[in-house]
């Protein structure tokens, strides 16, 4: 889940770079940039900025949302289709999924006119009511937020989006600010401290972030007023640790976690390191050794690079010539293995973002009494789900109000993929029904298997 913040890449950059680097800005473009004719994309102006974002209902059923991403724009359909418009070499190109293949679908979109047709189906913009705000988070830090409600006067459920480990602006890039109102659900988003328009320093201190999330929920309640129906928290990836912590003080009506874990970030790194070696075709002995290296690297990391080096160096000497050694990556194991102790002692602390490395999610989740929907990606390489799945089933057996949903064959971010000849994954789409599942649970609609055919669902007792 990218807790390490890329603190070791490469060594010279470690020694010189600031730990608060931001996502690069989108490219400057002419206001009216003519797009060349190409399959799948209408000619016309497209701009890679937040003003181009929005959502559109398709005639008949379904809908599409557009947000800035990846030096351009990404569109997402409720059925899981997705693609991107990328500015490169002085022009805009359209690609399918996250691939380098030119788009074949017919999409008529301009920044000025929005989405007008999708695969021959007419599109109508979704009317919303938007309230911008600045509120006070933990330690008096000013955070920038936004409440987006479907147009109208009646009460609606509101979801507070709780950040993962990303460093970019949620106000610019969070797709749920469009995907949820498209389905009649309100949403409150905010820039994590140290990102976008929010003040403070970027951190991965879960307690601090949970306090910020609680303040965000209070602001969402205040702004929504009489239009507030149900209020809940949705945390994805690292937000899966933070959202349940915030729930203890927020007292929401529901909590949703997407591709999050119950074990600690250190255990996550261990599971990833073992999975790396297993995916490379090596057996139990090599996997066990990879786990030992991950544990030793974890001691160093959790000490803020002050201790644990003797055991780490002994294990490196023992295994450095093994054929599987170079495959060990994890969240940070592989990077730590690359450098000597002196470099790690100097460079490591410079990249520290206060990550709560030893935080365990299960004791917190046991204190959450409201309904919880936990959605796993079955082929998740960043957050291997085996342990979390097992513990959630135990909690269900204990009659905790937890609904467990899993999309087998999907990776982190609920991304579907194909396997390339070199064994790498080529990401093509989002799990069908995932966006609807989040909105349904927020609205109090039961999440049942027949509604989401690709998901394996275990309803709460």
Residues 157, 258, single domain; the answer is yes
Domain-ending residue, one of 91, 125, 159? 125
In a domain, 26, yes or no: no
Using DSSP's 3-state secondary structure scheme, residue 135 falls into: strand
From CA 73, how far away is CA 41, in angstroms rounded? 13
Element (H, E) at 353: none
In a domain, 21, yes or no: no
Indicate whether 196 pLDDT > 50: yes
Expressed as residue numbers, the domain containing 100 is: 50-125
Number of domain units in the chain: 3
Give the pLDDT confidence of 430-448 residue by residue, as tens digits. 999 999 999 999 999 999 9
Residue with tokens 């929401």: 252
Residues 252, 380, single domain; the answer is yes
Residues 258, 383, single domain; the answer is yes
Residue 109: pLDDT band (50, 70, 90) is confident
Give the pLDDT confidence of 247-289 residue by residue, as tens digits. 999 999 999 999 999 999 999 999 999 999 999 999 999 999 9
Residues 241, 388, single domain; the answer is yes
Indicate whether 454 pLDDT > 50: yes
In a domain, 39, yes or no: no
Residues 133, 120, single domain; the answer is no
Helical segments of 198-340, H only: 206-224, 239-250, 265-279, 284-302, 309-319, 333-337
Quick check: 209 and 137 in contact, CB under 8 A?
no
**What mean pLDDT comes out for the span 169-178?**
95
Domain-ending residue, one of 301, 327, 351? 351
Quick check: 239 and 216 in contact, CB under 8 A?
no
Give the pLDDT confidence of 406-434 residue by residue, as tens digits. 999 999 999 999 999 998 999 999 999 99
Domain-ending residue, one of 304, 320, 351? 351
Residues 86, 182, single domain; the answer is no
Q: How far is residue 358 from each of residues 16, 53, 311, 354, 387, measured CA to CA in Å?
A: 28, 38, 19, 11, 16
Q: What is the pLDDT of residue 303?
A: 95
Neighbours of 419 (CB within 10 A): 9
Q: What is the pLDDT of residue 26?
A: 33
What 3 state SS string does 319-339 have? HCCCCCHHHCCCCCHHHHHCC
In a domain, 168, yes or no: yes
Residues 295, 244, single domain; the answer is no
Task: Average the pLDDT over each of 37-41, 243-247, 354-358 and give the range with the smallest value.
Answer: 37-41
Nearest-5° Cα angle at 267, 261 to 268: 50
Give the pLDDT confidence of 220-252 residue by residue, as tens digits. 999 999 999 999 999 999 999 999 999 999 999
């Amino acid at each position: 889940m990218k807790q390490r913040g890329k603190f070791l890449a490469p060594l010279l950059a470690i020694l010189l770079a600031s730990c608060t680097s931001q996502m690069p800005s989108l490219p400057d473009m002419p206001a009216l940039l003519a797009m060349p004719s190409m399959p799948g994309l209408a000619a016309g102006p497209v701009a890679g900025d937040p003003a181009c974002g929005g959502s559109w209902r398709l005639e008949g059923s379904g809908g599409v949302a557009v947000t800035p991403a990846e030096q351009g724009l990404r569109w997402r359909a409720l059925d899981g289709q997705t693609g991107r418009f990328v500015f490169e070499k002085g022009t805009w190109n359209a690609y399918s999924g996250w691939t380098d293949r030119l788009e074949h679908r017919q999409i008529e979109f301009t920044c000025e006119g929005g989405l007008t047709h999708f695969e021959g189906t007419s599109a109508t913009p979704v009317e919303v009511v938007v309230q911008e705000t600045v509120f006070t988070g933990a330690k008096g830090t000013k955070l920038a937020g936004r409440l987006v409600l479907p147009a109208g006067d009646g009460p609606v459920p509101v979801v507070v989006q709780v950040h993962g480990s990303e460093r970019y602006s949620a106000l610019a890039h969070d797709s749920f600010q469009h995907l949820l109102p498209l389905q009649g659900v309100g949403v409150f988003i905010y820039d994590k401290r140290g990102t976008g328009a929010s003040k403070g320093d970027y951190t991965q201190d879960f307690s601090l972030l949970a306090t910020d999330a609680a303040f965000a929920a209070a602001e969402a309640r205040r702004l929504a007023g009489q239009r507030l129906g149900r209020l809940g928290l949705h945390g994805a990836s690292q937000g899966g640790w933070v959202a349940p912590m915030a729930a203890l003080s927020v007292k929401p009506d529901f909590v949703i976690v997407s591709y999050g874990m119950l074990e600690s970030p250190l255990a996550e790194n261990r599971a990833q390191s073992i999975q790396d070696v297993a995916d490379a075709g090596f057996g139990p002995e090599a996997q066990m050794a990879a786990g030992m290296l991950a544990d030793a690297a974890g001691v160093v990391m959790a000490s803020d690079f002050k201790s644990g080096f003797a055991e780490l160096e002994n294990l490196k000497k023992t295994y450095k010539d093994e054929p599987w050694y170079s495959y060990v990556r994890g969240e940070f194991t592989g990077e730590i293995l690359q450098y000597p102790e002196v470099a790690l002692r100097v460079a490591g602390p410079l990249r520290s973002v206060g990550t709560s490395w030893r935080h365990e999610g299960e004791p917190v989740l046991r204190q959450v009494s409201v309904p919880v929907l936990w959605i796993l990606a079955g082929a998740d390489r960043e957050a291997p789900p085996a342990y979390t799945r097992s513990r959630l089933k135990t909690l269900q057996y204990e009659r905790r109000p937890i609904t467990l949903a899993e999309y087998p064959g999907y990776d982190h971010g609920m991304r579907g993929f194909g396997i390339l000849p070199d064994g790498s994954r080529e990401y093509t789409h989002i799990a069908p029904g995932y966006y609807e599942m989040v909105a349904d649970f927020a609205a109090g609609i039961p999440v049942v298997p027949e509604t989401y055919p690709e998901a394996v669902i275990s309803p709460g007792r």
